[in-house]
Amino acid sequence: MSSYREIAELIVKEKACVALTGAGISAESGIATFRDKGGLWEKYDPVRYASIDAFRTDPSKYWLIRGEFIRNYDRYQPNSAHLALTKLEDLGLLNHVITQNIDGLHRKAGSRKVIELHGSLREINCLGCHRTYLAPKVPDGTPPHCECGAILKPNTVLFGEQLPPVALENAYREASRCRVMLLIGTSAVVQPAASLPHVARQNGAVVAEVNPEKAFPDADFFFAAKAATALPEIVAQVEQLM
C-alpha cells in the first residue's frame, strides 16, 4: 500500500488536486453502491429501471428505486471522507470535486466547487411546466405528478441520456489541468467519467486511488482502504505539512 505521507507531500507541493468520486465514497453514509455485492444493480436491472427508454415507458420503475432516497433526502449525511475533501478545498489545495454521485453529499459537506456529472436527486423537474421541486419536498405518488398534472423526473442522467455538456466540459478541463487526481470509490467502468483518470495521467498528473479493491490498474498510488478511513488520514498529513 502507498504511503499517506507521500501523497500528502505531493498534494501540498503541487497545489492542483482534483477528486473524482463514485458511489464508494458514500458507502459509509449508508448508501449502497451499484456493482458491489448487494449493490443496486444486483437487485434491479439498470436498463429496465434506470434508462431513459424505461422512464418513458413506465416512470414508476425509476421512482420505485429513487423515491425513497428523495423523500428521505435530509436523513443522509456526509461522512468523514466528504468532509476531508471539503477541508482540502478550504486549504486551497483541491480545485474541484468531480462526482458521479447523485446523492448531493459533497455539497452537504460544504464543498463548493462540485461538478455533478450524473446530475442530482435534489432537483426534481416537471416534464410539463418545467417547475423544479427540491427534495425532500415532492408530491406523493409513484410516479409523483406536478400540480400541473405532468410527470416529475429527477434531474439525473439516465442510461441512454447525454451528460450535461457544461459539467462534462468542466470535468475534462479540470482533469487535464490537475497535477494530482484522487480517484475515490469508483469502479471506473462507466464512460465518460472512466476516461477522466486517463486524461489526467496523459497530461502528466499523478493518480492516487482510494478503494478497498483496486479498480484502476494504472494508478500511481493505491490505498486499499475505505474512503472514510483513508481521506481523513491523507488530509491530517497535509495539515501537518502546512
Give the footprint of ligand OAD on this chain (CB under 6 A): 22-24, 27-28, 33-36, 39, 46, 50, 100, 118, 157, 185-187, 190, 210-213, 215, 226-227
Nearer to ligand OAD, 16 or 190 (CB): 190
CB of 112 to ligand OAD, least distance (A): 21
Answer yes or no: 198 catalytic.
Answer: no
Distance CA 109, CA 82 (A): 6
Orientation angle between helical segments 80-90 and 227-241, nearest 10 degrees: 30
CB 141 within 8 A of CB 154: no
Among the options 118, 130, 145, 198, which is catalytic?
A: 118
Nearer to ligand OAD, 146 or 163 (CB): 163
Nearest to 226 by CA among 5, 23, 11, 39: 23
CB of 161 to ligand OAD, least distance (A): 8
The residue length of the chain stands at 242
Distance CA 196, CA 168 (A): 10
Nearer to ligand OAD, 11 or 50 (CB): 50
CB of 214 to ligand OAD, least distance (A): 9
- For 180, other C-beta atoms within 10 Å of its C-beta total 25
Minimal CB distance residue for ligand OAD: 24
| Positions marked catalytic | 118
